[in-house]
Amino acid sequence: MNTNNDTICAISTAPGIGGIAVARVSGREAIDICDKLWEGKALADVASHTAHLGYVRDENGERLDQAVATLFRAPRSFTGEDTVEISVHGSAYIQRELIHALCAAGARLAEAGEFTRRAFSSGRFDLAQAEAVADIIAADSRASHRLAVSQMRGDFSAKLNGLHDSLLELVSLLELELDFSEEDVEFASRAKLRSLAADIRQTVDRLASSFRTGDAIKRGVSVAIVGETNAGKSTLLNRLLHDDRAIVSDVHGTTRDVIEDTIDIDGVCFRFIDTAGLRKTDDTVEAMGISRTFQRLSTARIILWIIDASRPETIDNTAAEIMSRKADDSRIVAVINKCDIADAAEARRRIVGIYSGSGADLGVRMGAGEGAGMCTGVSHVVEISADKAIGIDALEALLVQLSGAKDISASDVIVTNARHYNSLISARDSIDRAIDGIDRAISGDFIAQDLRETLHHLSTITGTITTTDILANIFSKFCIGK
Ligand SMILES: Nc1nc2c(ncn2[C@@H]2O[C@H](COP(=O)(O)OP(=O)(O)OP(=O)(O)O)[C@@H](O)[C@H]2O)c(=O)[nH]1
Ligand SMILES: [Mg+2]
């Protein structure tokens, strides 16, 4: 990545043809460079945060387009540098020629994420906030947008800064003690130190634990649709996606491969995964499909176990596989399908009797849970007809509830970035070592060392401590113009 001494330019609107395209120019020479191709009031003379109508000229000095130039003087701009945004008509030709003209006048084409990187370098915001810019651009549901906005606003950073201050206080207490070690004074009682460290650990742990929800919301809550062949899994997928995405037929073993797609339900993005039906088979390709079903089962957050109401005796065939392969913290919803042609009572009785957890959800929802608790797993049972669209609204509402997205209040800080999560886990490991050290009454300098390490891991999130490699890696994931 180049230094910040030069002036960069790029089209910041989406690639392709549009009503308007905006070229962003940022750097020390931004205003002078734009003036070279600007026909209108000299931009060097206008006030910051003002917009001006004029013309831009191409490399050869010919009028290219009528345009609006908006000027932001340093440091009150996104990058913290002098910035000009030129809005032109969004033809591919005009966009290309405008960038050529800007480069001929002394700017250089920006690298991916370079505008945001400059904003970070000039202290406009920290690294976690810079990463939120990419998330805001990528967010495609209300829930993921809300999380990105909160991170960009600095809620996460404020939490980290609070932790940083508490850790520094702990380290300084210990170091002060070490300075006076000959005099054998204790500046902080070990009990006090331990309780402060435990508080920090709890906050770090809460943040790390929020990642599972945050990641699911950001990338789409994964919902695997599994069950016996012919139960109606693909019919349900199509129903949920409002699209004929998968082939439906009454031939057992129709779906061979995993089919997935995302859709927004009530502001939450879900990733629905239709899978090959579970049954014993000698067919090699079908067996491969079933092994893919197992993979998806183990990573899904929510499992929709589809049961054919007209064949309740099949419940036992798939139950054991599903129970044994699901992730510990995923939820299973037993979905009794084809309720338009069969009574669900027998299927329900079997599920409640054998496969439900002793969880309150079932008890309340289903009245008595005969024999509940024999095999934990199913938390909800719903009755639907995927084909006739009966019970779908209730199923969707349940999915939204299970996603956890609605339990997040505006003040909750949720981690959505894998890099942040990894740093939090490392921070939690080092604070654990520090707490262990306090418990074992080891020398203060070892404890201080572990606390400093915790500080280090937390600082990599906001970018107070960082390396060029980390920065290059983060910003290369942005697009050019951002
Ligand atoms: N009456 C009725 N038929 C349904 C319903 N849902 C699905 N079907 C029928 O059941 C048959 C199987 O449906 P699919 O959606 O292909 O079943 P699947 O579970 O994906 O089957 P495989 O891909 O073979 O595992 C089709 O003939 C559907 O039309 C329903 O709610 N009611
Ligand atoms: Mg299918």
C-beta of 337 in contact with ligand 1 (< 6 A) = yes
Buried b (16+ CB within 10 A) or exposed e, 105-124: bebeebbbbbbbbbbbbbeb
Same domain, 47 and 111: yes
Same domain, 290 and 344: yes
Strands 259-265 and 221-227: unpaired
Domain contains 198: yes
Q: Is the pLDDT of residue 128 over 70?
A: yes
For residue 316, the model assigns a pLDDT of 85
Q: Quickly state the pLDDT bin for 444 (edges 50, 70, 90).
A: confident
Separation of 225 CA from ligand 2 center, angstroms? 9
Same domain, 300 and 400: yes
Mind listing the pLDDT tens digit for each residue in 135-159? 888 888 888 898 888 888 888 999 9
Task: Report residue 25 CA to chain centroid gap.
Answer: 30
Query: Domain end: 76, 91, 125, which one?
Result: 125
Closest residue to atom 24 of ligand 1, CA basis: 253
CATH number at residue 350: 3.40.50.300
Amino acid at 444: G
Separation of 340 CA from ligand 1 center, angstroms? 12
Same domain, 325 and 254: yes
Closest residue to atom 12 of ligand 1, CA basis: 230
Q: Tell me which DSSP letter residue 125 carries.
A: S
Separation of 388 CA from ligand 1 center, angstroms? 11
| Sign of the alpha-carbon dihedral angle for 123, 127, 131, 136 | negative
389 CB contacts (<8 Å, ≥6 apart)?
A: 239
Same domain, 194 and 207: yes
Mind listing the pLDDT tens digit for each residue in 205-259? 999 999 988 988 888 999 999 999 999 999 999 999 999 999 999 999 999 999 9
- Give the angle 369-373-378 at the CA atoms, nearest 5°: 80
Separation of 209 CA from ligand 2 center, angstroms? 35
Same domain, 227 and 210: no
Domain contains 380: yes
Query: Domain end: 73, 96, 125, which one?
Result: 125
Same domain, 402 and 427: no
CATH number at residue 166: 1.20.120.430
Q: For residues 241 and 261, what is the distance between their CA atoms, to the nearest angstrom?
A: 8
Instruction: Please report, for residues 15, 37, 38, 87, 148, the alpha-carbon distance to residue 12 in angstroms, rounded to integers and kept in the order given.
Output: 8, 19, 19, 10, 20
Mutate which of 230, 236, 384 for ligand 1 pocket (most atoms within 8 A of beta carbon): 230
Same domain, 227 and 353: yes
Q: What is the mean pLDDT of the chain?
A: 88
Domain contains 476: no
C-beta of 233 in contact with ligand 1 (< 6 A) = yes
Q: Quickly state the pLDDT bin for 361 (edges 50, 70, 90).
A: very low
Q: Tell me which DSSP letter residue 331 carries.
A: E
Separation of 233 CA from ligand 2 center, angstroms? 5
Average pLDDT over every residue of 426-434: 96
Same domain, 256 and 387: yes
Same domain, 227 and 339: yes
Query: Domain end: 100, 125, 150, which one?
Result: 125
Range of the domain at 42: 8-125
Instruction: Please report, for residues 24, 61, 105, 449, the alpha-carbon distance to residue 100 in angstroms, rounded to integers and kept in the order given.
Output: 13, 12, 9, 54
Separation of 331 CA from ligand 2 center, angstroms? 21
Same domain, 352 and 297: yes
**The tokens of 84 are what?**
């000009």
| Sign of the alpha-carbon dihedral angle for 197, 200, 202, 208 | negative
Domain contains 187: yes
Atom of ligand 1 nearest to the CA of 250: 27
Q: Is the pLDDT of residue 309 over 60?
A: yes
Same domain, 341 and 438: no
Mind listing the pLDDT tens digit for each residue in 387-419? 999 999 999 999 999 998 888 877 788 999 999
Atom of ligand 1 nearest to the CA of 278: 25
Domain contains 251: yes
CATH number at residue 53: 3.30.1360.120
Separation of 244 CA from ligand 2 center, angstroms? 12
Which residues neighbour ligand 2 (ion) by CB within 5 Å?
233-234, 254-255
Domain contains 470: no
Domain contains 37: yes
Atom of ligand 1 nearest to the CA of 385: 31
Q: Which of 205, 265, 268 is nearest to 407 (CA)?
A: 268
Number of structural domains, the chain?
3
Strands 221-227 and 302-308: parallel
| Burial environment of residue 191 by CB neighbours within 10 A (0 to 12, 13 to 18, 19 or more) | exposed
Domain contains 472: no
Mutate which of 248, 305, 311, 339 for ligand 1 pocket (most atoms within 8 A of beta carbon): 248
